[in-house]
Structure 1
Amino acid sequence: MDRTLKQVFFLLLFVHVLHASDSITYQSPVDHQIRLTGNFMEIRNNHFHSGIDIKSSAGRSGDLIRSVHNGYVSRIKIQSGSYGNAIYIDHPVTGHTSLYAHLDSYSEEIAQYVKYLQYKFQRFEIDIYLPPGKFMVAQGDVIGTMGNSGRSFGPHLHFELRDTRTEEPINPELLGLGPTDSRAPVIQSLHVYHLGDELEMISDDIRYFNQNKPGFQLYKDEVIAQSRYIAFGLQMFDLMDGSSNKNGIHGYKVFENDSLIFSWQAERFSFDENRFLNAFIDYSKRKIYGQKIYLLYRQSCNPFSHYRDFGSGIIEVKKDRRQDIRIEVFDLFGNNSDVHFTLRKAEDELVPDQNPALCDTLTELKAGIFNVSFSKNTFFSPQQIYARSIKDVIENQECMTLELGSSSVPVSTYYKISIGNYQELDAKMWTMVSKDDKGRLIHFGLEKENGKFVSYIDQLGKFSLFKDIVPPDIEPLSMSLSQSSAWRFRIKDNLIPDGKVDDLEFKAEAGGQWLLMKYDKKNDMLIFNDFEKLPQKPFEFRLVVTDHCGNSDEYIRMIK
């Protein structure tokens, strides 16, 4: 469509904005059949999946990506990780914003504008909000091509629909953007949680299904409750047509004696509540065993607002009352899987080892030079958290170390560790470090606040004061003087940024002029192919990479 005609069309359109969702007709963002590798609100690490992941047509980048409806480009964002190359389109007629992420390229007009901004701000990563008249699009217009940029491990399109006003992601499949599904969800195991009087976890056990019987029938259809209160979880997944991927569940309902007591459905959520995923699932089993177990109850300090208002899912077990439990798991197309059993109270109840701290109060802990401050509702359920100061050796350094609770206990938000008098803390190169599940050093930074050094951390475990004196490493992989192929450099650091810590900073220049280097974070790769920006030979090429603690490495080469 001619650009002038487009602008006239959309200016008229904006005057008559409609918000009737029942009249919305979205076009597929791809030309081929939609097959999913990930669906809406499925379980990811520390967050819900906020969209759907659409497979490429042939397992490679390059499929055309189209706007699903009329609108305008409202935001362009480029990241080295996360969504990579992303574009946001507002659709005033529907009240939604569509997001297209991990793109390989933008349409020519948008790509030229992006490069202009990158050189203007001398940054590879950009995040720009645009006015309505800048880039108008019609339904079906090509806006880019499918790719593998950012934190993506295979060519696909991460597609989202968001409520433009609230920015909450909504399920695109509810509006017709998704595959068909003719198969019922698969339930793998039933998990039973025995809870104390403060609704803290006392113990849990697992029930499996009899493979020789149809459906999902337990070997024994009676569950013995060993505490006054009991709740349940299910390890489960869904399968969709055209794909073998194990996707997330669309919804579930819990009934006690045919009365609905708890329910959830994947319709929408708020990004502010993303970390509440760790109370939506059995975090401990996810952390230790990698299992995806949906908790079918609300923990006492879990503020997640998108459960249905039928109750908490926690059942008080009575000796003199029959309690029949039915759990229904369903998908968008009416395919259901059910679990039935009866509750019976044990003669002897389990007794907690110790009284846990309530999760809705402020908590302060001290161990050696470390002071820990947990704000109200840092934990999702009552916990008994210990703190102990020890010394540990990390990369030949003797480090003051804080052992804090168990890494299998989730936290809902950042808490603060403050450092008392420690005479060596006078340089930027100090940080707090821990080890991830692969044994790699991750760090959370250290900053001065009201005269004290503090670190903000979003997990429990073992944390050490560490002096980082190791600069990043620059490894030139290819630098063809004929400019026939892209220049590539691998950049690595001894510490992996986590929490609120910034990533590696880098700057490349040719003859003193700034150059655009693309950063592929997942492969630790800097890439340059903007050869028309190079000055005439001879010139000096200079690349500097700096870590969060101020350590730098430099690569210099004369180009003749």
Structure 2
Amino acid sequence: FISRISVSPGGYGLALYIDHPATGHTSVYGHLESFSPKIAEYVKQKQYEQESFRVNLTLDPSVLPVKKGERVANSGNTGGSGGPHLHFEIRDTKSEEPLDALEYYKKMITDTRPPEIRGIAAYPVPGRGVVNGSIVPLRQSVSLLKNGTYSDPSQSIEAWGWIGLGIKAYDRMDGAANIYGVRKITMSVDGKELFGYDMNRFGFDETRMLNTFTDFADWRLNKSFFMKSFIEPGNTLRLYRSENDGYIDINEERPYNISYTLEDLYGNTTTYKFTVTGKKQEIKIPSGCSLVMVWNDDNRYISDPFRLIIPKGNLYNDICFTLSQKKSTGYYSDVFTVNNEPVPIHKSGEISIKLNNDPLTDKKQYGIIQINGKKISWMGGVWRNGYITAPIRELGVILAVYADTIPPVIAPVTVNRKVKGKTQKIPESQKDRIRLRVSDNLSGIASFRGEVDGQFVLFEHDVKSNIYTYRYDASRIGTGKTHNLVFTAIDGCGNKSEYTTRFEF
């Protein structure tokens, strides 16, 4: 039976959740183009009851039962999708944890291709280890040679003290160009397993913690996907097994033989071996910190123009926090570089930036922006005693205070029949609808509402487009007369625009 239906401009877009009580599983179908007629009618009724395009519906088993072979939807590209496809999951109904769906379809799919290795990384533990004379991580590419073996790391690795390793790798399958994650990885040192994981399930409360499973800084800066073979102290993911949390103590001047084994669900394996040479070197202590933030306590950086609070449980490791500040005439505050490198925050911290000037009467129009070259993105925030305060989910960003005082722009794309006495030439495929183009310069559209003759009507919207669409519904607005349309859009700062017109239907 269908247990949940969600409709959203972003995320999974149109999504169905079907419970299978006999097995204890829930199957999930996301980014759908449309629901089957009976499901679509049920959803539409609820949208009108709630007067909202966005709905999240929980259903009793008797409401929409389904059976094997029944078409429930058409796949598509709605929500936060990068191209037409079906987002499919199998979850444990009780815990709602996603499982490896391939386990349930293994016999239907052939896979003879082993995982592929793309790179190796070495991470000195700050203040306790060094790699090639540096406390900076060493990341190297690895290539698959024509003879089927892999190249050695392009640079030899000499280390002293405590270090961690990482690997960049993907899995592939027969007949597909896609890349996938690697199901199992083990790392051994001198023949002894030190680290391993099996990615067979996880909880949604753990999703953000995957930012410490990966090399977050390299992902943010280079879109490169190294997986750490060590467990940072704030990482509580359940998928690991390890000794010393995967860290290696290089305390002898000798070769340390490293071996990685990568395995997919079908048992296809790849092994890669290389050497880390133990060599005594000076272990440098990180310097230039504005504040050392620790993973197991609350952290606060407080100054007059800038404040940052990161509650306990939000850092995965200790960090050398840095802050730089420069004057600006283009913003309402100074510009702050919040840490030299990207660092993920598990849930969120709180940032406050002081206004250098405060000319706006409507304080909701202020917000913190993130600056990336010539591009800016809106983080928002609230005004409190001369500061703008907002949540922050990662460090390594450039921030300032800006303002959005401009309301959204609403323009017709197609309005059916006659508009203001003039008949529009509308494609046949669009004669059953009204389409409006709605845009905002900065803070984004926070809410919208359409009314015909004073009554709510359902405008649909997808986050990838600035088009909002109302499909005529004769049962709700009637036919054979002139109707009044009012469409309202409000942006993230409360700036409001209204579009009105008359149409015949």
TM-score bracket for the superposition, by shorter chain length: 0.7 to 0.9
Compute the displacement of 1:469 (Å).
0.5
Whether 1:238 aligns to 2:168 is no
Taking the TM superposition and a 5 Å limit, the aligned residue runs for 1:2-401 are 72-176=1-105, 179-197=109-127, 202-209=135-142, 211=145, 214-218=148-152, 223-225=157-159, 227-319=160-252, 322-354=255-287, 356-394=292-330, 397-401=331-335
Match of 1:558 in 2: 502
TM-score by length of 1: 0.79
Compute the displacement of 1:308 (Å).
2.6
Compute the displacement of 1:214 (Å).
3.7
Task: Call closer, same or farther: CA 1:439–1:151 in 2, change over 3 Å.
Answer: farther
CA offsets, 1:312-345, max 9 Å, x none? 1110012156532101111111111111123221
Task: Call closer, same or farther: CA 1:351–1:213 in 2, change over 3 Å.
Answer: farther
Match of 1:518 in 2: 460
Task: Call closer, same or farther: CA 1:504–1:96 in 2, change over 3 Å.
Answer: same
**Does the 8 A contact of 2:453 with 2:483 survive in 1?**
yes
Match of 1:489 in 2: 436
Letter in 2 for 1:240: M
Compute the displacement of 1:234 (Å).
1.5
Paired residue secondary structure (1:113): helix
Paired residue secondary structure (1:275): helix
CA offsets, 1:105-161, max 9 Å, x none? 112211111010011111001001111211112233221111111111322110111
Paired residue secondary structure (2:89): strand
Q: Distance in 2 between matches of 1:222 and 1:182?
A: 32
- Where structure 1 has 5 or more consecutive residues not aligned to the other structure, the ranges are 1-71, 498-502
Compute the displacement of 1:235 (Å).
1.7
CA offsets, 1:16-36, max 9 Å, x none? xxxxxxxxxxxxxxxxxxxxx
The 10-residue stretch of structure 1 (340-349 or 432-441) with the greater mean CA deviation from structure 2: 432-441
Task: Call closer, same or farther: CA 1:255–1:552 in 2, change over 3 Å.
Answer: same
Q: Distance in 2 between matches of 1:437 and 1:165?
A: 42
Question: May I ask how many residue pairs the two structures share in their alignment?
Answer: 481
Whether 1:405 aligns to 2:339 is yes
Q: Distance in 2 between matches of 1:320 and 1:218?
A: 21
Paired residue secondary structure (1:351): coil
Task: Call closer, same or farther: CA 1:441–1:380 in 2, change over 3 Å.
Answer: same
Q: Distance in 1 between matches of 2:93 and 2:103?
A: 17
Taking the TM superposition and a 5 Å limit, the aligned residue runs for 1:427-446 are 427-435=362-370, 439-446=374-381
Whether 1:480 aligns to 2:480 is no
Q: Distance in 2 between matches of 1:130 and 1:199?
A: 55
The 10-residue stretch of structure 1 (296-305 or 463-472) with the greater mean CA deviation from structure 2: 296-305
Compute the displacement of 1:220 (Å).
7.6
Match of 1:59 in 2: none
TM-score by length of 2: 0.88
Compute the displacement of 1:422 (Å).
7.7
Q: Distance in 1 between matches of 2:357 and 2:282?
A: 52
Task: Call closer, same or farther: CA 1:519–1:221 in 2, change over 3 Å.
Answer: closer
CA-based RMSD: 2.7
**Does the 8 A contact of 1:228 with 1:349 survive in 2?**
no
- Where structure 2 has 5 or more consecutive residues not aligned to the other structure, the ranges are 419-429
Letter in 2 for 1:291: S
Task: Call closer, same or farther: CA 1:310–1:160 in 2, change over 3 Å.
Answer: farther
Q: Distance in 1 between matches of 2:147 and 2:297?
A: 48
